[in-house]
Amino acid sequence: MNCNDHTARSRNDQVLVDLRLFSRDWILKIVQALSDGCTMLCQFSQQHQSIPIPGRTHFQRAMPSSVGLWSGAFVESLLDNITLLQQAYWLIDQCPLGSAASYGVSLPIDRQYTADLLHFRTVQNNVLYANNSRGKFEAIVLHALVQIMNDLSKFSTDIIIFSAPEFGYFSLPEKFCPGSSLMPQKRNPCPFELIRAKAATLQGMLFQIFTIIHGLPSGYHRDFQETKRPLMQGLELTLQSLQVFFQIFSELTVNQAQCVAAFSNELFATDNVLTLVKTGVPFREAYTRIAKSLETVAMEDPTAHILAKTHLGATGNLGIELSLNRITQYQAWLDPHVSNSGSALLNTFLNL
């Protein structure tokens, strides 16, 4: 049967399989970009693990933190997003061919054979669900992409703030920071601002799909045509955002002296409370005692302080090797899937 023979086919299951081949290919590209970017971020965290910065809650100065802890937090969050993408890939890796217009055909077709040729994990069994899952599967993929973009948005905001002159922890590469049309002294972090905006755009795409599909009865409807655009745009937008973000971040510089100079004695108040607790003073009593005498809190060496916190995941024990191990595992998952993706499979489909 060649591509000019429509026996046992409908546009419905052909479009479905096209979208799934397309989505699988793009998910693998995005996972690769995340894997490469997280490898670079791990190196950044290791390089800057002993550089202290004030940690914040409610954006108020709270406790000692470090550049390594800050960047390592985003590594782990982005790696969790790879897990979400893997789950999305697993769900869409079901071959809908043979479902036809939602109700199958009265011919003895071999659905498993076409699934095997296209390297799908399995056949999507119920022929009606194959069409009912349209929009749903696109939303699942977009949900994972929204998580990635939300992380990039938070990451971008931190960089915008901490590279401002009032903080000065980081310096951005000037070539990526356009100037002002009026003010000659300005250098603006425009790419990071655009990434934040793109994150909002992607959320809109996700809710667009939810709104389209939420009230549809079973079976195919032309409404599904409008779920393709946000999926395809969302995949492309996410990959481009990752590429731009990591390109700029790779040239970010850390101003160690400015980071250390940002410390003042009140950042060590909580640790003074815990020092009293270690001597047997109840926590609430220790808290009250320090709160009433904040002027007695001594300024400590920020670098020595962060390196002294050695429990797993703290500033003195970042556990970066755990993230590197996860990257290795993701890469081991990625490589064989990449070998089964791309235009060769599309050509196989067109010649079925």
Terminal C-alpha separation, the chain: 6
- Measured CA distances, 182 to 164, 186, 187, 256 (Å): 19, 9, 12, 32
Catalytic residue (choose from 6, 35, 50, 58)? 58
Decide: 192 and 156 in contact? Cβ < 8 Å: yes
How many angstroms separate the CA atoms of 163 and 82, rounded?
28
How many angstroms separate the CA atoms of 203 and 121, rounded?
29
Tokens matching residue 135: 């929009």
Catalytic residue (choose from 6, 180, 218, 250)? 180
Q: 30 has which bridge partners?
A: none
- Measured CA distances, 84 to 134, 140, 147 (Å): 19, 9, 9
Smallest Cα–Cα separation from 30: which of 222, 273, 163, 202?
A: 202
Burial grade of 25 (CB within 10 A; 0-12, 13-18, 19 or more)? middle
Number of H helices, E strands in the chain: 13, 6
Known active-site residue 181: no
Decide: 172 and 248 in contact? Cβ < 8 Å: yes
Known active-site residue 180: yes
Q: Parallel, antiparallel, or unpaired for β 94-95 and 122-123?
A: parallel
Burial grade of 108 (CB within 10 A; 0-12, 13-18, 19 or more)? exposed
User: Which positions are catalytic?
Assistant: 58, 180
